[in-house]
Amino acid sequence: METKNWYAWIDLMPPKPDGFHVIGEILVGNPGTQGELCVKEPQGINPSILLLDLHLIQRPGMWPQIVTWIQCHYDKILAPHNPKYTDVEIFYDGISIATIKVEEVH
């Protein structure tokens, strides 16, 4: 699986609540494929590293078989009790495909 341009950030700018975001691009076999990032279960032993699973979903219909880059994202509103994430690790079919440092945006 080819991926590129991963970026993760916590939006600390007012007003509250803070937002957490991850974006990236995935190379897929047709433009009818969607990428979805979901929280991995179980999460692991380090609460500062968010583990996400990438799922590819084929939309119904006839799609040209053209290899193309698609964007996927994960968004979350952070409650005060949420851990402060420093890193994000993305998995596809149980294999780590990307590790990203989290940036804080003030």
Count of domains observed in the chain: 1
Q: What is the pLDDT of residues 39-87, one digit of tens each?
A: 999 998 999 999 999 999 999 999 999 999 999 999 999 988 887 899 9
pLDDT at 92: 97
For residue 92, what are the domain limits? 3-105
pLDDT at 7: 98
pTM to 2 decimals? 0.93
Q: What is the pLDDT of residues 16-34, one digit of tens each?
A: 889 999 999 999 999 999 9
Q: What is the 3-state secondary structure (H, E, C) of 27-75?
A: EECCCCEEEEEEECCCCCCCCCEEEEEEEEEECCCCCCCCCEEEEEEEE
Tokens linked to 18: 């803070």
pLDDT at 16: 86
d(CA 5, CA 1): 14
d(CA 69, CA 100): 19
